[in-house]
Amino acid sequence: MSETATETRVVLTPSAAQRVQTLIKMEGKPDLMLRLSVSGGGCSGFQYGITLDDQVNEDDVISEQHGTKMVVDQTSLELLTGTEVDFVEDLMGASFQFRNPNATSTCGCGSSFSV
C-alpha cells in the first residue's frame, strides 16, 4: 500500500473532491474514501467504477487531493494513469466524468471505454 499522490497518477479536480466530501458527510462516515476502479464490461470493453469505501486492500494505492482520500487498486491504476476525474453540473444533470488519455474510444454515456 502506498500513500503518495504522484504514484496514483490520477487527478481529482477540486469540484470532484468537493462533491465526494459532500457525499461522505451525507453518509455520516468520515472515514470513507473515494474508490476508483475499472472492470470488464460496458459497451466499450472496460467500465469505470466509483464508490465510497472505508477498506484498504493490500494492492491499493492511496492519495489525498484537495482534502479527499482516493483509493485505486494496482490493476485499475494501470488503465487510469493520467486520468482526470471531474464532477460536472450542467443543464443535462450532474455527474462524475473521466478524462482518460489511455482510452482509444468511449461510449456515449462516458462510463465505459476501450484501450
Question: How far, in whole angstroms, is CA 87 from its chain's centroid?
Answer: 10
| Span 15-47, pLDDT tens digits | 999 999 999 999 999 999 999 998 887 666 788
| Domains, the chain | 5-105 (2.60.300.12)
Number of separate helices (H) and strands (E) present in the chain: 3, 9
CB of 62 within 8 A of CB of 73? no
**All 3 cell numbers of residue 94?**
450532474
| Span 43-95, pLDDT tens digits | 667 888 999 999 999 999 999 999 999 999 999 998 899 999 999 998 878 88
| Span 3-20, pLDDT tens digits | 444 455 899 999 999 999
